Amino acid sequence: AQKVTQAQTEISVVEKEDVTLDCVYETRDTTYYLFWYKQPPSGELVFLIRRNSFDEQNEISGRYSWNFQKSTSSFNFTITASQVVDSAVYFCALSDNAGGTSYGKLTFGQGTILTVHP
Amino acid sequence: GAGVSQSPSNKVTEKGKDVELRCDPISGHTALYWYRQSLGQGLEFLIYFQGNSAPDKSGLPSDRFSAERTGGSVSTLTIQRTQQEDSAVYLCASRQQGVGLGEQYFGPGTRLTVT
């Protein structure tokens, strides 16, 4: 069975601080996909990033960066110079192999509530 | 282009009544998912549709829940004899099937309140 753990329930920072959201996953699949989604107060889940299990190259996109480490089964997400608009619930999610007839259904972590104060 | 749409946005119903929730996926997306988001359970997978294949119903919590997808597009999630524990936000997502796994795009959800 797949499992995603986001140990941080809530994080509160002041604007311009850097913040890292932790995600640890469990899966028996050798091929899998990891995602981060953002859920602002409006409620709609917004896709942020996707990584497959073969690609451990970390990436920076603007103020966002991701650190994927298979050795520790972690997929952490960092926001640099946080802004008030970053306030939202952030979900880490895991999906099984996309090949063949697999479904790609997502297993979500419990979410981390990020509050950025001005 | 248009995103995933869901209706109604809010639904209040009395315990024991049946409800129907609708999802209109992104045009051309052949994969469609229903999830439920509740305070106690977080985000849970309910059911998956892919083209004309048999749906994966493994996430449906009871036989009071059913879903269908007509013409490979619009999907309806039906909850019969609603219970208070069915109160949640029901989210629909669609994905374009292809090489690798594309991300799922979510609709705004239907907030269901059972009184």
CA-nearest of A15, A34, A35 to A86 is: A15
- Stretch B45-51: mean pLDDT: 90
Taking the C-alpha atoms of residue A66 and residue A69, their distance in angstroms, rounded to an integer, is 10
Q: What's the whole-number average pLDDT of chain A?
A: 90
CA-nearest of B59, B57, B62, B109 to B83 is: B62
Q: Say what percent of chain B tops pLDDT 90.
A: 70
CB of A82 within 8 A of CB of A94?
no
- Stretch B69-75: mean pLDDT: 87
Please check the confidence at residue A38 and state whether its pLDDT lies above 90.
Answer: yes
Of A107 and A29, the one with more pLDDT: A107
- Interface check for A54 against chain B (CB to CB < 8 A): the answer is no
A:23-52 residues touching chain B, CB 8 A cutoff: 33, 35, 37, 42-47, 50, 52
Taking the C-alpha atoms of residue B33 and residue B48, their distance in angstroms, rounded to an integer, is 4
Instruction: Find tokens 């920072």 and name the residue.
Output: A13
DSSP assignment, residue B19?
A: E
Instruction: Find tokens 């045009």 and name the residue.
Output: B27
CB of A22 within 8 A of CB of A76?
yes
pLDDT category, B100, cuts 50, 70, 90?
Answer: low
Please check the confidence at residue B51 and state whether its pLDDT lies above 90.
Answer: no
Q: How far is B43 from chain A (nearest CA, A)?
A: 6
Which residue is closest to A51 within chain B, CA to CA?
B101
- Stretch A40-60: mean pLDDT: 85
- Interface check for B66 against chain A (CB to CB < 8 A): the answer is no
CA-nearest of B8, B1, B3 to B109 is: B8
Contact residues on chain A for B106, CB-CB shorter than 8 A = 37, 44-47
- Stretch B1-29: mean pLDDT: 94
Long-range contacts of A67-71 (CB under 8 A, 24+ apart): A68/A34
Residue A100 is predicted with a pLDDT of 45
Q: How far is B45 from chain A (nearest CA, A)?
A: 7
CB of B37 within 8 A of CB of B45?
no
Please check the confidence at residue A39 and state whether its pLDDT lies above 80.
Answer: yes
Residue A59 is predicted with a pLDDT of 77
A-B CB pairs within 8 A amount to 58
Taking the C-alpha atoms of residue B15 and residue B67, their distance in angstroms, rounded to an integer, is 20
Tell me the pairing of strands B65-69 and A19-21. Answer: unpaired
Which residue in A105, A108, A113 has the most chain B C-beta atoms within 10 A of its own C-beta, making it the best mutation to test that interface? A105
Of A70 and B1, the one with more pLDDT: A70
- Most confident of the ranges A44-53, B25-34, B95-104, B106-115: B106-115
Report phi then psi at B64, rounded to 5: -75, -15
pLDDT category, A98, cuts 50, 70, 90?
Answer: low
Report phi then psi at A41, rounded to 5: -55, -25
Residue B53 is predicted with a pLDDT of 81
